[in-house]
Structure 1
Amino acid sequence: MGKIILVTGPARSGKSEWAETLAMQSGKAVVYVATAIDNPDDQEWHQRILDHQQRRPEDWVTLSIPVELSATLADAKPYTCLLVDSLGTWVANLLEQDESSWENILAELLETVDLVAADIVFVAEEVGWGVIPAYPLGRMFRDRLGSLVRQLSVLSETVYLVTGGHVLNLSVLGSPLPNREDAGTFRSQDS
């Protein structure tokens, strides 16, 4: 099994740059898995993508994978480090899926991650720190991404929070929540 790292944080915090640093430090061939779909008509979005592209070393392979993330991870070679940027965009690309389909896609991703021989660095946005969205699609996005990040953190060797240009290693500073099945045991030990 490869090493799984999760880098999370708010917009423009530096999380992608930190993930790029971790991928370079892996010593492996880096495959950048871009989940964004470029739209040249949206100049601001197009510029964000260009900014990311210009930071990458020339020897990195880039794959554009807006939806089929599980299959891409399953095909990864052990001598590679995949940098998946970002899970928020991937979730947004799948918002049209009904709840049952989404649960299947999520289960497949988590099962695949658990079996991949390559190292993987995931980048995920933190979106649940503000006002609850006033519209259903916004709430669905926030809830799906939050749940994915929480479940993926359990599989990750290290979880980082990047905020305000600072990196916090949550695996050292914090404690993971117990599984929901174990929650009663956890509470009784603290009582």
Structure 2
Amino acid sequence: MSDSSPTPRRVRRTRRTLVLGGARSGKSAFAEGLAADPGPVRYLATAVLDPADLDFAERIARHRDRRPADWTVVESADPTAVLTDSVSAAAAGATLIDDVGTWLTARIDARAAWESPRGTIAPDTDAFVGAVEAYAHRLVIVSPEVGMGVIPATRSGRLFRDEIGTLNQRLAAICDEVFLVVAGLPIHLK
């Protein structure tokens, strides 16, 4: 007599996950849940806090309050440097990058590229994509999806939209899975 019980499916744990979404879509909370299951989490907070910007400081505080106390948090992180540092990678479980948009803004600022031609920050984005692709551990990346709305009225707004759109496409191509979060609901794209 044969056993007719179903064969247990082996759960495939993906290595790289990209989570996209608009402002206040729930993308960070969703990504935090993905990163936390199971094991330790290293949280790369890419935002550079401007103490004069109280609204942004409040937003960052809400993110801090939501994180578990046992997570390792790297503030104002340069994800390219962290991902390529093999010593710090060995100690980490999952690494969560939140988010690519604030990192990109900091790179455009660092190169004073807001009025420069598109592609001026290509060395930075190339290095970041290369670091993501080479990273051998669990990685969850949060990035804004900004190309679904009104065309920005300013050159800097259009520059950011175009650069993040291109970068998101490159990340999606190398990630094992991609989610779009809309109104708190994750949609599995890849």
Match of 1:84 among 78, 82, 97: 97
The alpha carbon displacement at 1:135 in A equals 1.6
Q: Secondary structure at the residue paired with 1:133? A: coil
Q: Quote the Cα distance in structure 2 between the aligned partners of 1:35 and 1:101.
A: 20
Q: Secondary structure at the residue paired with 2:121? A: helix
* Rg (Cα) greater in structure: 2
For structure 2, which runs of at least 5 residues remain unmatched after alignment?
1-13
- 8 A Cα contact 2:98 2:141, kept in partner: yes
Match of 1:124 among 140, 143, 148: 143
The yes-or-no answer on 1:114 pairing with 2:126 is: no
The alpha carbon displacement at 1:64 in A equals 1.5
TM, length-normalised to structure 2: 0.83
TM, length-normalised to structure 1: 0.82
- Following superposition of structure 1 onto structure 2, how do residues 178-189 of structure 1 map, counting pairs within 5 Å? none
1:154 alignment partner in structure 2: 173
The alpha carbon displacement at 1:105 in A equals 1.1
Q: Quote the Cα distance in structure 2 between the aligned partners of 1:159 and 1:16.
A: 14
Q: Quote the Cα distance in structure 1 between the aligned partners of 2:80 and 2:120.
A: 14
The yes-or-no answer on 1:6 pairing with 2:18 is: yes
How many residues in Structure 1 have an aligned counterpart in Structure 2?
168
Percentage of matched positions with identical amino acids: 37
2:159 alignment partner in structure 1: 140
The yes-or-no answer on 1:93 pairing with 2:103 is: no
For structure 1, which runs of at least 5 residues remain unmatched after alignment?
172-191
- 8 A Cα contact 1:78 1:117, kept in partner: no
Task: Tell me which amino acid in the other structure corresponds to 2:100.
Answer: L
Task: Tell me which amino acid in the other structure corresponds to 1:49.
Answer: I
The alpha carbon displacement at 1:83 in A equals 0.6
- What's the RMSD between the two structures over aligned residues? 1.6
- 8 A Cα contact 1:29 1:80, kept in partner: yes
The alpha carbon displacement at 1:41 in A equals 2.2
The alpha carbon displacement at 1:31 in A equals 0.5
- 8 A Cα contact 2:104 2:164, kept in partner: yes
Q: Which has the higher helix share?
A: 1
Listed one character per residue, the Cα deviations across residues 52-104 of structure 1 (whole Å, up to 9, x for unaligned) are: 001101110000235x3211111222752111001111111112334555111
Task: Tell me which amino acid in the other structure corresponds to 2:173.
Answer: V
The alpha carbon displacement at 1:39 in A equals 2.5
Q: Closer, same or farther in 2 for the Cα pair 1:14/1:35, shift >3 Å? A: same
- 8 A Cα contact 1:85 1:124, kept in partner: yes
Q: Secondary structure at the residue paired with 1:95? A: helix
The yes-or-no answer on 1:41 pairing with 2:52 is: yes
Q: Quote the Cα distance in structure 1 between the aligned partners of 2:172 and 2:48.
A: 25
